Amino acid sequence: MSNKSKILDDVRIILYEAAYRSDFRDLNLAWVAKYFTVEAKDHEQLEDPQERIIDRGGVVLLAQNAHGAIIGCVSLIPYKPGVLELAKMAVHESAQGCGVGRKLIDTAIDKGRLLGARSIYLESNSVLGPALRLYERAGFKHLPPEQRPSSPYTRCNVYMMLDL
């Protein structure tokens, strides 16, 4: 068994708890800062995910390894009636390419269905090729220009939707 498949076998997806606040924040800040500039909207959601995501009807999912470390995260944020936004997804560099992102997305899609969403929306950037391929393999479709909403993030230039 390869080391990468062993990592995935030992990963479980758990719901956010306040004890993991800094893990959620730090994973996302590291990822965003690697490629882009951290924006005000990032800080708003990352500093208080309970108030900014969960209390508004959203959910934060965390990937936890066998040692209890949080190695990935994703959130579903109410976007508009019947639509959730997949956002704040990050996987620690040591676990990238091991299937953790796919496990997070699959769990988020299942959770979206349980929450009664009709679709899941996401915003990304064209420089993030592996992430875009992951979204496409999960069934997300690129929105044509006339269907793209305005984003609170200057970095976003890719908009996708998954019908549930």
**What is the tens place of the pLDDT at every residue in 117-140?**
999 999 999 999 999 999 999 999
CA distances (Å), origin 60, targets 37, 45, 46, 120: 22, 11, 11, 14
pTM metric for this prediction:
0.92
For residue 127, what is the enclosing H or E element? none
Asked whether 126 and 67 are in contact (CB, 8 A), the reply is no
> What pLDDT, on a 0 to 100 scale, did the predictor assign at position 1?
44
By CB atoms closer than 10 A (0-12, 13-18, 19+), residue 88 is buried
> What pLDDT, on a 0 to 100 scale, did the predictor assign at position 149?
80
Tokens standing for residue 164 = 């549930």
Q: Does domain 3-118 have CATH number 3.30.70.330?
A: no
**pLDDT tens readout for residues 8-66:** 678 999 999 999 999 999 999 999 999 999 999 899 999 999 999 999 999 999 999 99
Domain ranges of the chain: 3-118
pLDDT band at residue 148 using 50, 70 and 90 as cut-offs = confident
